[in-house]
């Protein structure tokens, strides 16, 4: 197995606490397969360099085979002053700089954690869905204006942006794609619906397609999550819905993600390095206490193995080890237990 170069961006808060055991896990599942190079991002980079993402870090990420990120943000960098840098700007710049337009967030409640979810077991049992979120367009990247009494954020989507993210969703679907929009109000959503319909008719007529308004989708996610296979939606809707979907698993600490660029297969010489990160934030309230749940970071590493390098067996080994550790009773505080980060790491390693 050739050595892969992975840029490690621990970030802020609990990020460094979950990044280190993830390196240990990857070295165990694929010995000598990875070369890690650590860089600062987010608030840590602001403190050191005055910017949440330096040109040098972005260049290193572009030259790497994959990027593994912990978390960014925290109250010490919170500001409403548009002239001051925020940690989250580093994450957005990284996605834009690498052209990572597709964010994949698999949601699969583990049977051992059915009772940890705020929803009843019979509601979530058998759920296995994928949220495909458009990541580099929409209101997060539109033109922004600000005066003392007025602010605006422009939401813009092009036909090409919508078509490429919809194509990712159709290719990932087992049976059905649910396209989520707000076409009863927004022009961007009306274009979104039109483009998805056209692509479906041209390239994927064998896949079932449904259109759901975002408010209805939010309700259905907690009322009947088994009805979903693949959900595809724009940037802000995807951000909100995937966090809601995380509660099906019992905790944000269980949800991984993969951010991908071009549609080339893993290991292709022209493929874009993906960014793999847990969906949860930096959890500054528990940072430094050694009780952060590392499982979403572990599962993000599994997505890196699968989508970044085509190492399906190694990815499945990590996912199986996490499942079995939970079945044996592993519970971190966010899951109602008292296991530390170190204890959770040992439990997964023992089942690897």
Q: What is the pLDDT of residues 33-83, one digit of tens each?
A: 999 999 999 999 999 999 999 999 999 999 999 999 999 999 999 888 878
Q: How far apart are CA 228 and CA 305, in angstroms?
A: 25
204 domain residue, yes or no = yes
Q: 324 with 201, same domain?
A: no
Q: Which of 12, 182, 229, 334 is catalytic?
A: 182
255 domain residue, yes or no = yes
- Would residue 215 show up in a list of annotated catalytic residues for this protein? yes
Q: 195 with 146, same domain?
A: yes
139 by DSSP, 3-state: which? Answer: helix
Give the domain extent around 286. 1-106+251-352
Q: 12 with 99, same domain?
A: yes
113 domain residue, yes or no = no
- Other beta carbons within 10 Å of 213: 16
Q: Which of 215, 285, 313, 338 is catalytic?
A: 215
Q: 258 with 185, same domain?
A: no
Q: What is the mean pLDDT of residues 74-102?
A: 91
CATH number of the domain encompassing residue 158: 3.40.718.10
Q: Which of 12, 181, 239, 334 is catalytic?
A: 239
pLDDT at 268 > cutoff 80 = no
Q: 243 with 124, same domain?
A: yes
For residue 266, what pLDDT is reported? 60
pLDDT at 263 > cutoff 80 = no
For residue 272, what pLDDT is reported? 83
316 domain residue, yes or no = yes
Q: 66 with 6, same domain?
A: yes
Q: 22 with 64, same domain?
A: yes
313 by DSSP, 3-state: which? Answer: helix
Q: Which of 114, 140, 181, 334 is catalytic?
A: 140
pLDDT at 230 > cutoff 90 = yes
Q: 164 with 196, same domain?
A: yes
- Would residue 144 show up in a list of annotated catalytic residues for this protein? no
Buried b (16+ CB within 10 A) or exposed e, 76-107: ebeeeeeeebbbbbbbbbbbbbbebbbbbbbb
289 domain residue, yes or no = yes
Q: What is the pLDDT of residues 99-120, one digit of tens each?
A: 999 999 999 998 998 888 888 9
Q: What is the mean pLDDT of residues 314-326?
A: 97
Q: Looking at 29-33, 138-142, 261-265, which range is the least confident one? A: 261-265
Which of 234, 249, 264 is a domain's end point? 249
Q: 282 with 238, same domain?
A: no
Residue with tokens 């296991």: 339
Q: What is the number of structural domains in the chain?
A: 2
Q: Which of 153, 198, 227, 243 is catalytic?
A: 243
Instruction: Look over the chain and give the mean of its residue pLDDT values, rounded to a whole number.
Output: 94
Instruction: State the pTM of this model.
Output: 0.90
170 domain residue, yes or no = yes
- Would residue 154 show up in a list of annotated catalytic residues for this protein? no
Q: 134 with 147, same domain?
A: yes
61 domain residue, yes or no = yes
- Would residue 239 show up in a list of annotated catalytic residues for this protein? yes
Q: What is the mean pLDDT of residues 286-310?
A: 96
- Would residue 114 show up in a list of annotated catalytic residues for this protein? no
Q: Are 212 and 110 in contact (CB under 8 A)?
A: no
Q: Is the dihedral of CA 301, 302, 308, 310 positive or negative?
A: positive
Which of 199, 234, 249 is a domain's end point? 249
111 domain residue, yes or no = no
pLDDT at 205 > cutoff 70 = yes
Q: Where are the beta strands (DSSP E) in the chain?
A: 4-11, 34-38, 66-71, 102-107, 129-134, 144-146, 151-153, 176-181, 208-213, 230-233, 256-260, 274-278
Phi, psi of 205 (to 5 degrees): -65, -20
Q: 85 with 18, same domain?
A: yes
Picking from 140, 7, 37, 150, the residue whose alpha carbon sits closest to that of residue 86 is 140
Which of 249, 264, 290 is a domain's end point? 249
Q: 131 with 101, same domain?
A: no
pLDDT at 270 > cutoff 70 = no
């Amino acid at each position: 197995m050739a050595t892969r170069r992975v840029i490690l961006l621990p970030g802020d808060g609990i990020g460094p606490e979950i990044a280190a055991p993830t390196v240990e896990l990857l070295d165990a599942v694929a010995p000598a397969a990875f070369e890690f190079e650590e860089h600062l991002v987010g608030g840590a980079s602001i403190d050191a360099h005055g910017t949440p993402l330096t040109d040098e870090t972005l260049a290193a990420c572009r030259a790497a085979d994959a990027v593994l990120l912990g978390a960014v943000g925290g109250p010490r960098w919170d500001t409403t002053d548009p002239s001051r840098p925020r940690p989250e700007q580093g994450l957005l710049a990284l996605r834009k700089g690498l052209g990572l337009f597709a964010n994949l967030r698999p949601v699969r409640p583990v049977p051992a954690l059915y009772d940890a979810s705020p929803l009843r077991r019979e509601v979530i049992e058998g759920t296995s869905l994928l949220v495909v979120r458009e990541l580099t367009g929409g209101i997060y990247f539109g033109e922004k204006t600000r005066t003392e009494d007025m602010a605006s954020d422009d939401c813009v989507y092009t036909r090409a942006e919508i078509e490429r993210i919809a194509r990712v969703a159709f290719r990932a679907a087992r049976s059905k794609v649910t396209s989520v929009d707000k076409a009863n109000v927004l022009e961007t959503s009306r274009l979104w619906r039109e483009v998805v319909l056209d692509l479906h008719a041209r390239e994927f007529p064998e896949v079932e397609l449904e259109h759901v308004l975002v408010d209805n989708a939010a309700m259905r996610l907690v009322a009947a999550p088994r009805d979903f296979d693949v959900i595809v939606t724009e940037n802000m809707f995807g951000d909100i819905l995937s966090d809601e979907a995380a509660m099906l698993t019992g905790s944000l600490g269980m949800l991984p993600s993969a951010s991908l660029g071009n549609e080339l297969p893993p290991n292709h010489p022209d493929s874009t390095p993906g960014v793999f990160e847990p969906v949860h934030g930096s959890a500054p309230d528990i940072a430094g206490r050694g009780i952060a749940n590392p499982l979403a970071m572990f599962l993000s590493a599994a997505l890196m193995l699968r989508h970044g390098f085509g190492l399906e067996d190694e990815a499945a080994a990590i996912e199986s080890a996490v499942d079995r550790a939970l079945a044996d009773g592993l519970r971190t505080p966010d899951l109602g237990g008292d296991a530390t980060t170190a204890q959770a790491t040992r439990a997964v390693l023992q089942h690897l």
